[in-house]
Amino acid sequence: MRLLDRFLKSILVLLISSQLCAQELDYYPPMNSWEEKPPSTFGIDGNKLQSAVDSIISYEYTGPIDLRHAILKGFEREPYHKILGPTKRRGGPAGMIIKNGYVIAKWGDTKRVDMTFSVTKSYLSTMAGLAVDKGLIRSVNDKVDAYVWDGKFDGRHNSQINWEHLLNQSSDWSGQLWGGYDWNDRPPKEGDIDDWRIRKFVEPNTVMEYNDVRVNLLAYSLLQVWRKPLPQVLKENIMDPIGASPTWRWFGYENSWTNVDGIKMQSVSGGGHSGGGIFISAEDHARFGLLFLNNGSWDGQQLISKAWIKQATSSSPANSSYGYMWWLNKDGEKNRMNNLSNNGFYAAGFGGNYIIVEPDHDLVIVLRWCEPSKGNKALGLIKEALK
């Protein structure tokens, strides 16, 4: 009887393993090339999909072409806000739809390098994941002051902050970095500077607050752990192995330079709030999304652990629809992207920049300069066309 049980268990393990293997992609686009297939290959009505794409093109971001003007206008309520990093005039609407690794639709200039704003945050959190995978960070539950001891995490409140709090934007860190104060980043609608400066701290991991000063603090802290520029870490560990082009760049601010081991290094920003962040093409975004669709594996090489992918795209205690700088859809109708599947996740940036990953449909969608209020509708049109 025991032998029979063991035999049946072995068969079950083999079946599960074969199913998992079947979910792996059978095509990975080589560098400088990406195979296209008609939607009908996957039982998708090409006319319906093209109609969806035509509508998405009409949803172009209504903000200025000159993103310097768009940034200053978008964050004009913030006291002392100014542009410290590079900016770039944007292109027109562009995007790609990837099914099972193949391009089934694309529009606009998909090779054009543009600012990507807070989509950068999803790349930044991946740098933390690599640090965990390589043992540079023992656990996301470790207090950051055990790694960064230059005073930025001193004090009764800041010393409580661990890596996870920075990753899910629930740290409520208080301080100043590169000339920016935590309280003047997206201040409340009520009150004024005097009210914002003097505030009551909230316990980390209880309230999620979108704050680029604290995101940049994560980038600075990771620079201390890696001891080399994060763009170099991203290039060597992710972008080169997935065949990304050599055109993407990751910038910080004119004043975000620091000394690491006697070498002057720039601490990059986690978005374009004050300029900087990642400048990248739609095609390179799509490769990054495809890596996450395939649980961190690329053509047989595990670039980032499956455990990290799962952790990064799981709900946070302070916000069920936010992971480690990836957005989710766990609040149903309350969520701004409620056409996303329950298992889906996405990166989002100012001006309507998106990397959307839909594991249930083996789908990656990249949208550039899609009016933010229409992003959810755009996803809904695409998914409707898949039926």
pLDDT tens-digit readout, 88-127: 999 999 999 999 999 999 999 999 999 999 999 999 999 9
CB 352 within 8 A of CB 368: yes
**3-state SS string for 196-249:** HHCCCCCCCCCCCCCCHHHHHHHHHHHHHHHCCCHHHHHHHHHHCCCCCCCCCE
User: What pTM does this model have?
Assistant: 0.93
Q: 8-22, 194-208, 226-240, 286-300: which range is least confident on average?
A: 8-22
Helices then strands, counting H and E runs in the chain, come out as 11, 13
Please, which pLDDT band fits residue 13 given cuts at 50, 70 and 90?
very low
Rg (CA), the chain: 21
Residue 71 has pLDDT above 60, yes or no: yes
Q: Tens digits of per-residue pLDDT, 163-198?
A: 999 999 999 999 999 999 998 888 888 877 877 777
What CATH fold (topology level) applies to the domain 123-245+256-268?
Beta-lactamase (3.40.710)
Domain spans in the chain, listed from the N-terminal domain onward: 23-118+277-386, 123-245+256-268
